[in-house]
Every structure is written in structure tokens, then in C-alpha cells.
Amino acid sequence: MAVHGSRCAACKYLRRRCPQDCIFSPHFPSSNPQRFAYVHRIYGASNVGKMLERIALLKLDGFENDQRVPEFERSHVADSLHFEAKCRIEDPVYGCVGFISRLEHQIHSIESEIAMTRALMMMYESSLNRQKGGPSEH
């Protein structure tokens, strides 16, 4: 097990050697120790490693398959875990679900505004049509 020149943030945090094939090192560089601290606090190192390593494809053709996470997807896994962990630390009750709720509320509000604007336009249009269709001059 060769040792890198410098350990990644995860291995530093976990006080262990950082192997060359360390699953954490591409996504938790030593320059950003906070990033791993967040995910470790919420998910734990073992769960993060599992999520980086494998995707369980549920109900694929009627059975579960474990597949390795493609390399290019792992950075997305790490980034999304970091984002969710950060949200959870900042808002321990709702985490990133608070975001989702606020967005859904915002969508609902904008849709109501659009409906009101369109209704207003229809109202003026019908009022104008009534004026035009007023007493006809023979």
C-alpha cells in the first residue's frame, strides 16, 4: 500500500495512511478539510465510502444489482453529499428539505401571480369588448 506524498482530507481526519487508490482523495483534497468534516459529521466515513463506491440499482429488471459508481459520477456524489451535509449542519431540523419547501412555495406563488395577471387581462379584454359591442348606430 503506497503512501501519497500528502494525505487527503479524509485520511488526515481519520488519522490513517492515504493509499494510492483511496476512494476519498479525488473528492476530499487536503486543501479543504471542512468538506470532509461536514460529510463525516452527518453521514460517517463508512457510509460516504459506500455511497462513493457503489450504486444499488433497485428494481432493475426485477432484481437488485450492485454496480460500481462510474468514476465521473463520484464527484457528483461527493458534491451532493457535501451540499446536503452543509445544509443539515446549518439547519439541523430541516436540512436541504427546507430549500425544497421554499422552492415549492415560491413556484406556487409565481403560478398564482401568473394566473392573476392573465385573469386581469381577460377581464380588461372582456370589458373592452363590451364597450365596442355597445349600442350600435343604425
Partner 1 sequence: MSSSSNNNSYNSPCAACKFLRRKCLAGCIFAPYFPPEEPQKFVNVHKIFGASNVTKLLNELLPHQREDAVNSLAYEAEARVRDPVYGCVGAISFLQRQVQRLQKELDAANADLIRYACNTGIPSSALQPAETASMQPILPPVNTRRTHPAAAFAAGSIGDDNGGGFFQPPPYSLPWDDNLSGDIDAGGE
**Which stretches of the chain bind partner 1, using CB under 8 A?**
42-44, 46-47, 51, 55-56, 58, 69, 73, 75-77, 79-81, 83-84, 86-88, 90-107, 109-111, 113-114, 116-118, 120-121, 124-125, 128
CB of 66 to partner 1, least distance (A): 11
- The least distance separating partner 1 from the CB of residue 135, rounded to whole angstroms, comes to 20
Residue 5 Cβ vs partner 1, minimum distance, rounded to whole Å: 26
Do the Cβ atoms of 24 and 8 come closer than 8 Å? yes
Instruction: Indicate the residue among 19 and 77 with the shorter CB distance to partner 1.
Output: 77
Strand partners, 48: none
Cβ distance to partner 1 smaller for residue 3 or 110: 110
Q: Alpha helix (H) ranges present in the chain?
A: 9-14, 33-43, 45-53, 71-90, 97-132
Burial 15-34 (b: 16+ CB within 10 A, else e): eeebeeebbbbebbebeeee
Q: Nearer to partner 1 by C-beta: 26 or 44?
A: 44
Q: Which is nearer to partner 1, 3 or 121 (CB)?
A: 121
Instruction: Tell me phi and psi for residue 30, to 5 degrees.
Output: -65, -15
Chain-centroid distance of CA 81 in Å reads 8
